[in-house]
Structure 1
Amino acid sequence: MTLLEARDLRVEFASRGRRARAVDGVNLAIGAGEIVALVGESGCGKTTLARTLLGLERPVSGSVVYGGAPLDYSSRALKAYRREVQLVLQDPTGSLNPRHNVYEAVAEGPRIHGLTDERERVLSALSRAGLRPPERFLLTYPHELSGGQRQRVVIAGALALDPRLLVADEPVASLDASVRGEILALLMRLRDELGLSALVVTHDLGLAWNIADRVAVMYLGRIVETGPVEQVLTSPSHPYTQALLSVLPESPAPVVLAGEPPDPTRIPGGCRFHPRCQVLASGDAARAGVDHACRSEPLAVLSASGGSQVACHYAGVRESLP
């Protein structure tokens, strides 16, 4: 069952007299009890898409659909929605008020939503987040905790509202390597024990491999490849996905992309990746007879179906070969 879905979502911002198409036609579905990784380099639109799914940004077109109904942007409806769809930010230190102890930090959500049994909710959330015994942490302040413990407090603050879905924006990027695995294991355990869904926003394909059921690769405002995580990461079809994977330690050789980082105010014609594409630069696209299409023919927006899909002229030709 689909819990949260983006349907042809488009988000724009004014930038130096031009319009930046931060999200430029995205279809993405997250099922109940499913973890989806949204990956891509900085500036590709991942965080804007996540904020739009949370109702923090309003799309210029398309819609966010939750539980089968389009998102209602009235204050009352958004408050109810955000109890069920909670955000976990990258920097736990910046997320926590240094003047609030752990109890106050975790109790903030239940107080905003007027929930009863506040203390029981706080204790239960801390315990589920792996801070045990929870009573030991109640009067502790953020500066007295390790980075991993602070991130667990942030997660506990979300769990105190009994959400159905977490949107985690780079949830382990600011943590030591020794702690990252613990937080990822916690997210997977919450999925298994509570049926919690999650959208994990990251630039790290290694993280996606370890935690996600499905992966969506985003470039310049649009998803260019999507599918089951094992299939996409073991047999990537899009040259951009191949380049992202090439920087992992076990990769034989990194792919160095040509050209400038993408500018959402100047989206190129044809395939939006073609100015930096290693397949086009190497001549492989010309030998396959698709170099003109790469430069001039736009690709269709990928659907939100659960199967493997890729937006690439060269990949389409290669798949059709015997």
Structure 2
Amino acid sequence: MTTTPATSTPATTAPLLSAEALEVTFPGRRGAAPARAVDGVTLDILPGEIVALVGESGCGKTTLARSLLGLVAPTSGRITFEGRPLDPSARAMKAYRKRAQLVLQDPSGSLNPRHTVYDAVAEGLRIHGHRGDETAAVAGALSRAGLRPPERFFLRYPHELSGGQRQRVVIAGALVLEPELLVADEPVASLDASVRGEILALLLRLRDELGLSALIVTHDLGLAWNIADRVAVMYLGRIVETGPVEQILTAPRHPYTKALLSVLPEAPGEPVVLSGEAPDPSNVPGGCRFHVRCQVFASGEAERAGVADACRTRDLPVLDGSGAGQVACHWAHSTAGEEPAQAPAPA
């Protein structure tokens, strides 16, 4: 983990992309209750900002990311891009996906082994009917992704490249359309440790040189420290803590965030072992949805703080997704001398 977090000053306070009270619910199997994969999420991404969306596998972060790209239809809520609601029509979505590109975690799986690097990068141009110089566009994208000279890679196939080179090809395929937003799902999870830093440095350089915004989906708070301006911690379909990266990683307030941080190699003390697996999103616990696994609740600290009953029975407000530090935790509010958090009564 680096000593100084990545920071950048966004060009404006107006969000590039916003999710407002977003919900994604999947039908239950064999008569089971519907699964609330994304449960009332509000989140902004500013121009030139990198936001890390962090949480365990199954917490809903990939579903949220895909819904922000229009790849998963939300059950309710609203997504806006540059202040305008997304138009779900096929034509409008095609235009939107040119400006907001997905970078998948496994380049081996996302690259067709029968396509050359040139064809892999040119595919987006052909889908969108690019009328300019295709060769120059592909060469420029490969060069920006760090594959130089680009012509040396044109006729190579994925199996002839290293893992890091394949991930750069995937990134080049997104860059060739000159997007304003990248959504990267675990962009370095499949790479060797020696290569991860190179890809993270590339993403930071692209932000600085091109003004790109990015949502980085990851389970690794250490990665967030190295690349993000802001962190949103997700648990069981909701954002439970959000704020500037330095604040979240040096002074976390939510017990779940603290547990995620405790397993980093540089973390002091013993890792926090959460009890059991995360609950099924079709059967979300009452009260605070984390309390059944919470180390603070289990240790009696919540009881001593006078909030154990609230943890068991009282839901928490949905965070509004602003850049300021926010936390959805009865115990965290009580230790800060704040009024206990309380969700608004149903309408």
- Where on the TM-score scale, by shorter chain, does this alignment land: which range? over 0.9
Match of 1:215 in 2: 231
Instruction: Show the 5 A alignment for 1:156-175.
Output: 156-175=172-191
Output the amino acid matched with 1:67. Answer: E
Match of 1:301 in 2: 318
Instruction: Show the 5 A alignment for 1:248-259.
Output: 248-251=264-267, 252-259=269-276
CA separation in 2, counterparts of 1:108 and 1:219?
36
Output the amino acid matched with 1:140. Answer: R
Match of 2:64 in 1: 49
The 8 Å contact of residues 224 and 231 in structure 2, kept in 1 or not, is answered as yes
- SS at 1:320's partner residue? coil
Match of 2:295 in 1: 278
Instruction: Show the 5 A alignment for 1:134-145.
Output: 134-145=150-161
Q: How many residues align?
A: 321
1:36 maps to which of 36, 51, 61: 51
Match of 2:23 in 1: 10
Match of 2:149 in 1: 133
1:226 maps to which of 209, 225, 242: 242
Structure 1 position 261, deviation (Å): 2.1
CA separation in 2, counterparts of 1:58 and 1:135?
39
Residue 96 in structure 1 maps to residue 111 in structure 2 = yes
CA separation in 2, counterparts of 1:71 and 1:144?
39
Match of 1:287 in 2: 304
CA separation in 2, counterparts of 1:88 and 1:260?
28
Kindly provide the CA deviation profile for residues 187-234 of structure 1, in whole angstroms up to 9, marking residues without a partner as x: 000000000000000000000000000000000000000000000010
Structure 1 position 60, deviation (Å): 1.1
TM-score (normalised: structure 2):
0.92
- SS at 1:109's partner residue? helix
CA separation in 2, counterparts of 1:87 and 1:64?
16
The 8 Å contact of residues 184 and 216 in structure 2, kept in 1 or not, is answered as yes
1:264 maps to which of 281, 285, 304: 281
Output the amino acid matched with 1:300. Answer: P
CA separation in 2, counterparts of 1:304 and 1:295?
25
The 8 Å contact of residues 103 and 171 in structure 2, kept in 1 or not, is answered as yes
The 8 Å contact of residues 247 and 254 in structure 1, kept in 2 or not, is answered as yes
Output the amino acid matched with 1:90. Answer: Q
Output the amino acid matched with 1:234. Answer: T
Output the amino acid matched with 1:109. Answer: G
- SS at 2:232's partner residue? strand
Kindly provide the CA deviation profile for residues 119-168 of structure 1, in whole angstroms up to 9, marking residues without a partner as x: 11000000000000001000000000000000000000000000000000
The 8 Å contact of residues 22 and 264 in structure 1, kept in 2 or not, is answered as yes
- SS at 1:275's partner residue? coil
CA separation in 1, counterparts of 2:275 and 2:166?
39
Instruction: Please give the root-mean-square deviation of Cα atoms over the aligned residues, in Å.
Output: 0.7
The 8 Å contact of residues 191 and 197 in structure 1, kept in 2 or not, is answered as yes
CA separation in 2, counterparts of 1:126 and 1:304?
34
Bigger drift between 251-260 and 129-138 goes to: 251-260
Unaligned runs of 5+ in 1: none
CA separation in 1, counterparts of 2:266 and 2:46?
31
Residue 66 in structure 1 maps to residue 81 in structure 2 = yes
**Greater than 4 Å deviation, 4+ residue runs:** none
Structure 1 position 259, deviation (Å): 2.8
CA separation in 2, counterparts of 1:121 and 1:157?
10
Structure 1 position 271, deviation (Å): 0.3
Output the amino acid matched with 1:38. Answer: L
Match of 1:316 in 2: 333
Bigger drift between 273-282 and 111-120 goes to: 111-120
Unaligned runs of 5+ in 2: 1-13, 339-347
Q: Percent identity?
A: 74
The 8 Å contact of residues 236 and 278 in structure 2, kept in 1 or not, is answered as no
Output the amino acid matched with 1:190. Answer: L
Match of 2:257 in 1: 241
CA separation in 2, counterparts of 1:259 and 1:298?
21
CA separation in 1, counterparts of 2:110 and 2:75?
29
Output the amino acid matched with 1:258. Answer: S
Match of 1:184 in 2: 200
